[in-house]
Structure formats: structure tokens, C-alpha cells
Amino acid sequence: QAAQVQPKQPRRRTAMTTLTDPQQIMDARLLALRQMLKLEILGLSKSKGPSAYSTLKMLGYKGTRAEILKELDDWREQKLNG
């Protein structure tokens, strides 16, 4: 008796979003900087380029790393809920 061949499963498509609006791009950048800042607080950092903390300071944020993280957390919650 011939072996039955299983039909191939269709490939699952990954949904991708393209950010085209300048505000969307800045929001994505702030989310990435927020994650980087969390790692810097834990003691991890990039080996090249400016730290997330210094980049956020250049963007106008003021305060300690923890204060800026709290501000970004509050901003994120507002974006998600509002």
C-alpha cells in the first residue's frame, strides 16, 4: 500500500505594521528607549553610542533614571488606555 502524503500546511503570515506618521515613529522610539532604560537601571548597557538615559535627556526629559522611567511608564499607560 502506498504511503499517504500529508498535505502541506499553509504558512502562517506574520502581521507587520508600517509606521509612516512622524508621531507613530516617535512613539515607537520612546518605547524602545523605555526598554533600554529599564535594562540600564539593571546594569546592562549598549557598548557603543549614547545611553538611553542621555538620549532621553537630549529629548528634554529631566530627572534621574528612575524618575524618567516612571514618566515613560505613565505615558505608555496613557497611550494604551486613552
Cα dihedral angle (62, 64, 68, 73), rounded to 10 degrees? -160
Indicate the DSSP class of residue 49. S
CA distance 15 to 54: 33
pTM (whole model) above 0.85: no
40-76: per-residue pLDDT in tens? 999 998 778 999 999 999 999 999 999 999 999 999 9
